[in-house]
Amino acid sequence: MSTPVLETENLVKVYGKGATRFDALKGLTFEIHEGESVAIVGKSGSGKSTLMHLLALLDEPTSGVVALGGEPVTALKPKKVSQLRNDTFGFVFQQFFLNPNQTVLENITLPLKIAGVGKSERNRRGMEVLEQLDMADKAKNKATNLSGGQKQRACIARALVNNPTVLFADEPTGNLDTATSEIVEDILFGLHRDQGITLVVVTHDEDLAAKCQRRLMMQDGEIVTEEHGATGVHA
């Protein structure tokens, strides 16, 4: 088997101290391989969001190791970690987090801007991604004028614009109606299938989880069961 793109070893996250101590993660060890689609499933408070934050290098574990491409990242400097996030990850958020004052194109090219890519190159790659997601005609629109589905597509475009290895999606369909949800899911799994992108989905939606190749069921900071094989339509 290839080197796992992400792996954890005895991952522990504790919030607070003494009486208010809360063990969010109680020693998780697992691997995510390149090209996999993984769902982290659990109720709220199960630790799934904490786990995603640790995997996405947005937070540091209390103890344990997160390794990216076989290399532990715990020891890296914050600046290097920021750069790794920018290079390797794409993020799709439930609340979209689009800047309402900026155009769609400006919004989706933000990761490239942060990476220090020149403006013309940014716009070229931004338009490419927008075309891929059938959003090219909305490029000059202000983000605030989009519908929910369009916003999430813009959000996916932003996540894809830096050609990430891993795409993190935090409740990507949480704010969408059923029909729109399906479109967004199609896009995400299409990317996974056609471009071999590694997909990590955090959700409490069983239907969405079912479409992933692997599901990590979380409860009280532990992975209680692990299921393999997609049961959804996109097997």
Partner 1 sequence: MRSVDVARTALGNTFRSKLRTALTVVAIVIGSFTLTLTSGLGAGVNKYVDTVVGGFGGSSQMFVLSTGAADAEPTDGPAEYDPEAAASSGGMFGPGSGGGVLTDSDIETIEEIENVSAVDPMVFVSPDFIETPDGAQYDLELDVPANALGLELAAGDAPGDDGMELSIPEDWLTIFDTEDAEQVIGETVQIGISNVTGEQSTVEAEVVGVSEEALSGIGATPMPSRELNQQLNDLSMEGYEGQAQNAYTMAVVDVENIETNEQGVKDALVEEDLLGLTVEDQIGAVQGVIDAVSWVLSGFGLIALLAASFGIVNTLLMSVQERTREIGLMKALGMSSGKVFGLFSMEAVVIGILGSVIGVVLGLGAGLLGNAWLTGEGGPLGGVAGLTLFAVDPLAIIGITALIVFIAFLAGTLPAARAAKKDPIEALRYE
Contact residues for partner 1, defined by CB under 8 A: 53, 56, 58-59, 78-79, 82-87, 91, 93, 95, 97, 99, 101, 110-111, 113-116, 118-119
Q: How far is the CB of 116 from partner 1 (least distance, A)?
A: 5
Q: How far is the CB of 114 from partner 1 (least distance, A)?
A: 5
Residue 49: how many CB atoms within 10 A of its CB? 18
Core vs surface per residue 10-41: b (16+ CB within 10 A) or e? ebbbeeeeeeeeebbbebbebebbebbbbbbb
Q: What angle do CA 209, 215, 216 make, to 5 degrees?
A: 125
Of 203 and 213, which has the nearer Cβ to partner 1? Answer: 203
Of 167 and 210, which has the nearer Cβ to partner 1? Answer: 167
Amino acid, res. 100 = P
Chain mean position to CA 122:
22
For 61-177, where are the E strands, in sequence order? 63-68, 71-72, 89-92, 166-170
Q: How far is the CB of 6 from partner 1 (least distance, A)?
A: 17
Of 141 and 207, which has the nearer Cβ to partner 1? Answer: 141
Q: What angle do CA 207, 41, 62 make, to 5 degrees?
A: 165
Q: How far is the CB of 13 from partner 1 (least distance, A)?
A: 12
Phi and psi torsions of 227, nearest 5°: -115, 145
3-state secondary structure of 44: coil
Q: How far is the CB of 155 from partner 1 (least distance, A)?
A: 10
Of 91 and 189, which has the nearer Cβ to partner 1? Answer: 91
Q: How far is the CB of 150 from partner 1 (least distance, A)?
A: 18
Of 77 and 228, which has the nearer Cβ to partner 1? Answer: 77
Unique residue bearing structure tokens 């995603």: 52
From the list 184, 192, 234, the residue with the least C-alpha distance to 38 is: 192
Of 162 and 213, which has the nearer Cβ to partner 1? Answer: 162
